[in-house]
Amino acid sequence: MSQTISPSGHHAPQTFIRKWVFSVDHKVIGLQYLFTGIFFLLFGGVLAMLIRWQLGFPTKAVPFMGVLAPNGMPDGHMLPDYYHMLFTMHATIMIFFAVIPILVGGFGNYLVPLMIGADDMAFPKLNMASYWTYFVASAVMLFSFFVGSGAAKSGWFAYPPLSAVEATGQTYWIISLIILGASSIMGSINFITTVLNLRAPGMSLFRMPMTVWAEFVTSVLLLLALPSLTVAVACLLMDRVAGTSFFLPAGLIIGGNTLERSGGQPLLWQHLFWFFGHPEVYIVIMPAMGIVSDVISTCARRPLFGYRSMVYALWGIAGLGFIVWGHHMFVSGMNPTMGTTFMMSTVVIAVPSAIKTFNWLGTMWRGSIRFDSAMLCAAGFISMFIIGGLTGIFSAVTPVDIYIHNTYFVIGHFHFMMVGGALFGFLAGIYFWFPKMFGRLMNEPLGKIHVVITFVLFNCVFYPMFILGAAGEPRRLFDVSMYPLLHELQPIRAFMTVCALLMFAAQALFFFNFFWSLFRGKKAPSNPWESNTLEWTTTSPPPFYNYEKVPTVYRGPYEYSHPRRSIDWHPQTDPANV
Amino acid sequence: MFSKFLSGWLLSPSASSFGPKIDGLYNLILVITGIAFVLTEAALIFFSIRYRRRPGKKAYYSHGNARAEIIWTAVPTAILIYLGFMSQNLWSQLRVPKNYPKPALTIKVQAEQWLWHFRYPGPDGIFGTEDDIVVDNAFHVPVGQPVHFEISSQDVIHGFYIPALRIHQDAVPGMTSTLWVEPTHVGAYDVRCTQFCGTNHYQMKGEVTVESPDEYKAWLANAKASSTF
């Protein structure tokens, strides 16, 4: 890098601290999000393994956990409340500290300015503040593991009255999420402003790649949905520490003690929480949808099928996403007529998801598909997104939901979205943009082996959940031996646990590939996938200011295989018509 | 055991009057989504093989097909909205209190960490009088008669779920939710708590015995003698 001044006159940072710690460069902040998120992904994964161990082999001790957590797992035997803490923190960590930071903070920060031809985000310092606020929130959340009573254990959904009377870990949980809410608002405002104001000449909205669209729509969702959570947890905090009664009705007798509260309503929490919580699901999946769209079009060498309807589908999902929250509450005691309304909005939200699926398949149709690791991830994403989407219809239809509500069926359904969708989207993104981020290529054969193994084992872990759900097995049971009919199915649970442990272990292939390639991988050219979008026109990795001169955009991002061109791609910056 | 991986999608028989209707809807969705699953996954696999990269072959250049897009938007929309309207009728029969059949018996269900209390009105048919009968965890109902439940909780939220009878309702403190069921098959069925309610959530199990009206009467008389009220 000979040049250290960007076209707009910013100087590249010189000191280590300014360059790698308190950086204002969107690429460095993106990587900070990415690596912090990956740390939490692994941490959340470890929690999941402990959960699976208890479910698969409830009587077998885990000796080293007896040393690490002598209170929760004396001699390695898990206690019920330790299990409850595990599933609460697994969900909290994965959703708030792993998946959103990776897909929005990580990929969003790294890619959005590059893909629209900007030299940074609109507010670089706000961007830095956003990351460090997230860092503080995650530190508070981690600290909660070390308070006397342990971390929160009333579920990530934290329904009061239980969450209002739980021990101190819950208070740290609330404080952490309030801090995280601030980080998220800073981030989403930054993304929205960047996309609206910093696009390069010629980069009209409908020339933006799907990844940018997805991050943009996701930011709008984050901005509108997260305040509802912040408000809810702030009220919950008051109920816990200040004697208010937002969510506590009169006459509660908990553990033999009468609570002197009156006037609150537990369902109010559920409305506030799910008003955030359902858009949240789309916040998680939409960036993955964007990534996968770009990967499929590039690897299939075909223009994205129905680009505009893909964009409208994103907006459709975003809009409808705000009026479906009640489907989490069909059996909560909410007015049944509301149930009907939410059922109708929920079945309708399946339509834009179906459109996206058909358009991905349409993009593969008559393509010339190169199955790189990223494309394998994308194909896996589609196949699991189909399962996750179709099983959602069961839960959406109110009479059927009566039977499967809060059973393993629901866990299966959303893990096909969260792991099959978001995790595979993350992997696709890494395999695809690793060369751009680090200037080196990942090992393709190793990548393919990793993707195939992960795909097979993933299905072995989560598919049986539908079977357990159809048998009426409630979620969140520490031990099913109370129920002989469910206990009979123990071999299935053991099988799932073994597959889960193998799947977790198989990620070593990914991390080995990642870190080995980081230092020893083959040097990457600027455009290894022969892709059209802007980020591939600059060097790998891009310089501090991204582009030597501001790029001019002449066409949409998916002009592949034009019949009158000798090569099967046509960069967005190429002024020549054909 | 692993033969269940396919057959496990079929629900075990229900034991209530509306059970077959819920199961019918479930099976209908299973068939519709099953077809959609096979078609889309087959297309994915077929395209992956048929259109894999081969030297000298160029991909087809097009940005989409309006007719195809209209079809695959309209067809799922029509099917899904049809499903929604179909379900609406059943849902309102099951859930809207003014549509409930006249009850032969009303039982008040009170949840507590971590047990179920079931209160019967006793011979005078009125709650809150001295002849009320209260039993814990295990309760009985007569077969073939509509039963109403009035469900609440004294501490945290619990989930009142009897999978065999296809009924499910959260027990929320501060409010009373109602449900009805008409059991059609005698037998003993699990009551499973489905809303996480604290340390012993996993042990919060009840049991409902559906029996002939005569057996039920005998049980009630016996329960009255030992009622905790």
Residue B78 pLDDT: 95
Task: Characterize the bridge pairing of strands B205-211 and B138-142.
Answer: parallel
The identity of residue B158, as a single letter, is: H
Helix (H, G, I), strand (E, B) or coil at B173: strand
Q: pLDDT tens track of chain A, all 578 residues?
A: 334 455 555 667 778 888 889 999 999 999 999 999 999 999 999 999 999 999 999 989 998 999 999 889 999 999 999 999 999 999 999 999 999 999 999 999 999 999 999 999 999 999 999 999 999 999 999 999 999 889 999 999 999 999 999 888 999 999 999 999 999 999 999 999 999 999 999 999 999 999 999 999 999 999 999 999 999 999 999 999 999 999 999 999 998 899 989 999 999 999 999 999 999 999 999 999 999 999 999 999 999 999 999 999 999 999 999 999 999 999 999 999 999 999 999 999 999 999 999 999 999 999 999 999 999 999 999 999 999 999 999 999 999 999 999 999 999 999 999 999 999 999 999 999 999 999 999 999 999 999 999 999 999 999 999 999 999 999 999 999 999 999 999 999 999 999 999 999 999 999 999 999 999 999 999 999 999 999 999 999 999 999 989 999 999 999 999 999 999 999 999 998 87
Assess contact for A298 and A531: CB atoms under 8 A: yes
Residue pair B124/A130 in contact (Cβ under 8 Å)? The answer is no
CA distance A51 to chain B (A): 14
- Cβ partners under 8 Å of residue A234, min gap 6: A174, A178
**Could you tell me the two tokens for B76?**
């799922």
Q: Which of residues 50-79 of B touch A (CB under 8 A)?
A: 51-54, 57-65, 68-69, 72-73, 76-77
Q: Answer whether residue B24 shows pLDDT above 50.
A: yes
What is d(CA B12, CA B24) in angstroms, rounded to the nearest whole number?
12
* Residue spans of beta strands (DSSP E) within A270-420: none
Q: Do B51 and A364 touch (CB under 8 A)?
A: yes
CB-based contact A267 B172, cutoff 8 Å = yes
Beta strands in A315-369 (DSSP E): none
Torsions phi, psi for B116 (to 5 deg): -110, 130
Query: Among residues A256, A255, A261, A257, which one has the least CA distance to residue A240?
Result: A261
Place of tokens 């109708």: A344
Report the residue of B9, B27, B44, B113 to disrupt the A interface, i.e. the one with the largest count of A CBs within 10 Å. Answer: B44
Give the type of residue at A568: D
Measured CA to CA, the distance from residue B153 to residue B109 in angstroms comes to 8
Look at strands B158-162 and B138-142 and give their pairing: unpaired
Q: Which residues of A touch B203 (CB under 8 A)?
A: 482
Helix, strand, coil in percent for chain A, rounding step 5: 65, 0, 30
Query: Per-residue pLDDT tens for B153-192?
Result: 999 999 999 999 999 999 999 999 999 999 999 999 999 9
Is-contact A365 A311, C-beta < 8 A? no
Q: What is the pTM of this model?
A: 0.95
Asked whether the beta carbons of B147 and B141 are under 8 A apart, the reply is yes
Per-residue pLDDT at B1: 67
- Report the pLDDT value the prediction gives residue A2, as an integer from 0 to 100: 37
Q: Give the closest residue to A357 by CA, choosing from A421, A418, A408.
A: A421
Q: Select from A31, A568, A252 the least CA-distant residue to B61.
A: A568
What is the average per-residue pLDDT within B9-13? 94
DSSP state of A210: H
What amino acid occupies position A561?
S
Contact at 8 Å (CB) between A378 and B72? no
Question: Which element (helix H / strand E) includes A110?
Answer: helix A109-116
- Statement: residue B125 has pLDDT above 80: yes
On whether the CB atoms of residues A406 and A474 are closer than 8 A, the answer is: yes
* For residue A541, cis peptide bond before it (omega within 30 degrees of 0): yes
- Interchain proximity A266–B65, CB inside 8 Å: no
Q: How far is B188 from chain A (nearest CA, A)?
A: 12
On the CB side of B229, CA atoms within 13 Å amount to 19
In this structure, the strands spanning B105-112 and B147-153 are parallel
Tokens of B223: 């329960």
- How much is the ipTM here? 0.96
pLDDT value, residue A63? 85
Higher pLDDT: A578 or B64? It is B64
Using an 8 Å Cβ cutoff, are B47 and A504 in contact? Answer: no
Tokens of A17: 């601290």
Interface size, chain A vs chain B, as Cβ–Cβ contacts under 8 Å: 301
The DSSP line for A236-297 is HHHHHHT---SS--TT-EETTEEP---S--HHHHHHHHHHHHHHHHHHHHHHHHHHHHHHHH
Is B151 in a helix, a strand, or coil?
strand
For an interface test with B, which of A239, A342, A368, A372 has the most B Cβ atoms less than 10 Å from its Cβ?
A368
Indicate which of A365, A411, A462, A475 best probes the interface with B, i.e. most B CBs within 10 Å of its own CB.
A365
Return the structure tokens found at A476.
């969140």
Cα B152 from Cα B132, distance rounded (Å): 17
- Concatenated DSSP letters of A21-86: IS---HHHHHHHHHHHHHHHHHHHHHHHHHHHHHHH-TT---HHHHHH-TTTSGGGPPPHHHHHHH
Among B164, B205, B206, CA closest to B187: B164
Contacts of residue B202 in chain A, CB cutoff 8 Å?
Answer: 80, 477-480, 482
Q: CA of A226: how far to CAs of A59, A274, A532, A558, B31, in Å?
A: 40, 10, 34, 33, 37
Q: Using only C-alpha atoms, what is the Rg of chain B?
A: 25
Give chain B's mean pLDDT: 94
Distance in angstroms (rounded) separating the CA atoms of residues A408 and B189: 19
Q: Is the pLDDT of residue B228 over 80?
A: no
B123: which 2 tokens? 């011979």
The reply to whether residue B194 touches residue A405, judged by beta carbons under 8 angstroms, is yes
* For residue B124, pLDDT beyond 50: yes
Least Cα separation, residue B3 to chain A (angstroms): 11
Q: Which of A101, A241, A236, A224 lies closest to A163 in space, CA to CA?
A: A236
pLDDT at B225: 76
